[in-house]
Amino acid sequence: MYQDKTLICKDCGAEFIFTAGEQEFYAEKGFQNEPMRCKACRQTRKASRPATGEAREMYETTCAACGAPTRVPFIPKNDRPIYCSECFAARR
């Protein structure tokens, strides 16, 4: 059913094989997208992220729904509304 595919890494531009076994694993997990990075770039990217339990840098902003001050783990932009945890959960 699955066949090996050659993909191009979006970070380093190298070709890598997306094996039939990996494709089957992705399907079992419900992943919709193919990998975009080769194994070496995925490992480098993973190593550069903070480990579980380490504090992430947070940014202060105001909730677009209730006006309460809130903190988010990304740089707020003016092109999209940002909600506090309670308002975000209510919108889901």
| pLDDT tens-digit series, residues 6-48 | 999 999 999 999 999 999 999 999 999 999 999 999 999 988 8
User: For the whole model, what pTM was predicted?
Assistant: 0.53
The rounded distance, in Å, linking the Cα atoms of 59 and 57 is: 7
How many helices (DSSP H) and strands (DSSP E) are in the chain? 3, 4
Q: What pLDDT sits at residue 12?
A: 96
Q: Find out whether 72 and 79 touch, Cβ atoms under 8 Å.
A: no
